[in-house]
Structure 1
Amino acid sequence: MSDGNSSAPVTRIARRRARPGHAAEYEELVREMFGLMREHGGFLGAELIPPETEGGLHQVVVNFASEDDLARWDGSATRREIFGRMRAHAEGEPEHRRLSAIDEWFIGPDVPSSTRVPRWKNAVVTWMGIWPLASLVLYFIAPIWKNLGLPFLLSTAINVVIIVVGMVFLVSPVLTKAMRWFLVPQRR
């Protein structure tokens, strides 16, 4: 019997640096690996993000339907074989990081993979953004829907859309930069 987490979709990022002069060969093998992943159950998709500058880290983002599907890929002979071939073109082993949407939203892709923001900190910063935004929407915009005679569920849906869009595109980018010291403390 599987628990709730093993059946949820999973995203994993692998970061790895290609050896100098081997970026094209490494990228070709990563694309070949994507084809091999398609043959495994639960594979949902993958993307290769090359480095912005020569010698930077390649990022490989893979999506599987569940932890179990990812574990089957990780334990496969096919993966061992392709990784063995990649070693000639890459420095060291890849650094893996599993992502949830909330982690990516709060800490972004430039934070070391070992960093995990505690859920309570995510909750505090989310509250700091949603509370004033929801208060403004409920005070200034919600009465408009009431005056128009919109049904409660429709007006609530519109208010939530406004709050979510405001949070994602306006408040969160500013708030997460301002609160980065709290979310991801610097190690001494």
Structure 2
Amino acid sequence: MDRSTGTSSARITRIARRRAQAGREAEYESCVREMLAQMRGYKGFLGGDIIPPEQPGGDYQVVTRFASEAECEAWDRSEARLSCLERLSEVADGEPELRKLSGLEAWFEPAVVSASMHPPRARMALVTWLGIFPTVSLVLWLVAPLLEPLPFLLRTALLTALIVVTMTWLVMPRLVRLLRGFLDPGHGKS
């Protein structure tokens, strides 16, 4: 909590779902990219992505991240945002459906993945193994001897909990980012 403003300083992720008018998809994407470029100039903007629909005529998703609720609200009140929304309304179908995630809620949301990113299971399995093998090896080498006096089930519960936490918050986010080109060979190509 930021005591000076009375607002939470937790990161905010916002997802906007909206359809482009038929035949105006390129204009819609251009407007969204322009809006993301405008956001880069605002304090607290951490990044954004546009996810095209799986099927023609489906919903686009625009995911934006801000360092805090206050900084997201500053963007929401800006003239730049109003101007972008005005241009978007000319090429979009209806109003956007907005969802805001913060705090614990954001931990349990599935990762936002490009619609084109459907890596083969063999690649996902390999990347998962590349994370699990060194993590489990390190935990068994460093921590398991310290837990030896404990009963088997308690020792197993503690070891697996440590491995899951390490994989979830430390290893896999970095590994997926590092190996994105392997998982999604089309990423970054226009």
Residue 32 (str. 1) matches residue 34 (str. 2): yes
* Cα distance change on mapping 1:3 and 1:18 into 2, 3 Å: same
Aligned partner of residue 64 in structure 2, secondary structure: strand
Task: Tell me the percent identity.
Answer: 43
Number of residue pairs aligned between Structure 1 and Structure 2: 130
Residue 9 (str. 1) matches residue 11 (str. 2): yes
Structure 2: 5+ residue stretches without partners:
112-142, 150-156, 170-190
Correspondences of 1:31-180 after superposition (within 5 Å)? 31-100=33-102, 102-103=104-105, 106=108, 108=110, 145-147=146-148, 159-164=160-165
Match of 1:164, as an amino acid? V
Structure number having the greater helix percentage = 1
* Cα distance change on mapping 1:34 and 1:107 into 2, 3 Å: closer
Match of 2:50, as an amino acid? L
Please give the TM-score of this superposition, normalised by the length of structure 1.
0.58
Shift of 1:24: 1.0
Structure 1: 5+ residue stretches without partners:
110-141, 149-155, 169-188
Q: What whole-Å deviation, never above 9, does each CA across 1:78-133 have from its counterpart, x for those lacking one?
A: 11111111111101111110113643565658xxxxxxxxxxxxxxxxxxxxxxxx
Q: Distance in 1 between matches of 2:158 and 2:79?
A: 49
Q: Distance in 2 between matches of 1:42 and 1:157?
A: 37
Q: Distance in 2 between matches of 1:167 and 1:68?
A: 28
Q: What whole-Å deviation, never above 9, does each CA across 1:119-158 have from its counterpart, x for those lacking one?
A: xxxxxxxxxxxxxxxxxxxxxxx8754349xxxxxxx985
Shift of 1:4: 5.3
Q: Distance in 2 between matches of 1:80 and 1:10?
A: 20
Q: Distance in 1 between matches of 2:25 and 2:45?
A: 25
